[in-house]
Amino acid sequence: MRLDVEEYHELARPFFGVSLQTPLDAFFVDVAFYHHDRLVMTEVEFSNQKIWRKPHHIRQFDTNILLVETYKGGSCRGLIDDETTFVDANSIHIMDWSRDYTALMQDAAVVGLQIPHALVGYDPSRHPAYLSLPLKTPRGRLLAFTLDLLVGQMRDGETRDVEHLASAMLAQMRSLILSDGEEYWEDSSEKSRRSIIESFVQKNIARSDLSPDRICRELGMSRATLYRTFGKNGIDHYIREQRLENCCNDLLRSPNIHGAVHRVAERWGFYDASNFRRSFRAKFGVSPSECLSDDTLRSRGGQVYHPVLDWMRKPGETIH
């Protein structure tokens, strides 16, 4: 179903806060919901926006849920607790909805499945809040393929096939959780070297003297090896991108007060305000000030009627 701005805010209110990042005349959102037993499937398309889940959202309904998502278009980057998340059409991600979450979404087309913790043995005290599986891995491809088949059958109302596919999806999720999200990667010296360099950069990213020369000196490698490892964009680009990522993460946490953008930019080595704004918008599609926390929505308290929450208690129905 196609929603206008007011309808979308009302629909989203119990689940997350929303701040639109596009003009009203460019805004769009189209949603469909499908229900099978205790599983809820969603298909959503929407324009750029920032969302956040805080304790008052989490208290609104049973949040002992894992959200499994694939992006058919666009991307999403954010923070769940203090962990950075990023998902696009190249990965499938799994997120615990019982945690605080803030994210920037860009022209996204998303297929999502909500799974109660108990169905797959997920324990928030033992298992990670977030897991991303690249679609190039066998496990990532299989999980995404099963998810696509499941949403297709739920959309078409094929009850018997949905039952089999849902069982297959839950079995894959149990196996993934029991393995603690272990992924199988082809090992190579090149990947190992890059991992070491990336780890060094992350530990020293706040240092103003972080440079290719310092990396080579500290890690005992030649400049040729360093630049070959990071390909055509180079190590300088990688350092800059990491600093922009840190700026984004800090701004997502920061209150919307005077001087917040300036302080965050300088913390990560950006001293030219106009250049910082240009670089930030080029990478994230929004201005730095649009990332600042705007958690102005508060719970209205008590049990209220809500079209999706009410429908989620009625298995077997569909909303388009």
pLDDT tens by residue, 6-55? 777 777 777 777 887 777 777 778 888 888 888 888 898 888 888 888 77
If you average pLDDT over residues 226-239, what whole number do you get? Answer: 84
Model pTM?
A: 0.61
Whether 276 shows a pLDDT value over 90: the answer reads yes
pLDDT (0 to 100) of residue 59: 66
Task: Work out the average pLDDT over 72-79.
Answer: 88
Amino acid at 145: F
pLDDT greater than 90 at residue 105? no
Measure the CA–CA gap between 68 and 94, rounded to whole angstroms. Answer: 5
Mean pLDDT of 237-257: 87
What percentage of the chain exceeds 70 in pLDDT? 83
Nearest Cα to Cα of residue 280 among 245, 235, 233: 245
Delineate the domains of the chain, giving CATH numbers in brackets.
5-182 (2.60.120.10), 201-291 (1.10.10.60)
Give the model's confidence band at 185: pLDDT under 50 very low, under 70 low, under 90 confident, else very high.
Answer: very low
* Average pLDDT score over the chain: 79
**β partners of residue 84:** 79
Q: Does residue 141 carry a pLDDT above 70?
A: yes
Structure confidence at residue 68 as a pLDDT band (50, 70, 90)? very high
**Contacts for 249-257 with beta carbons within 8 Å, 24 or more apart?**
249/79, 249/84, 251/288, 251/291, 251/292, 252/78, 252/79, 252/102, 252/104, 252/291, 252/293, 253/79, 253/102, 253/293, 254/292, 254/293, 255/292, 255/293, 256/289, 256/292, 256/293, 256/294
Distance between CA 248 and CA 77 in Å, rounded?
9
Task: Give the range among 57-61, 206-210, 242-246, 297-301 with minimum mean pLDDT.
Answer: 297-301
Structure tokens at 171: 């079995």
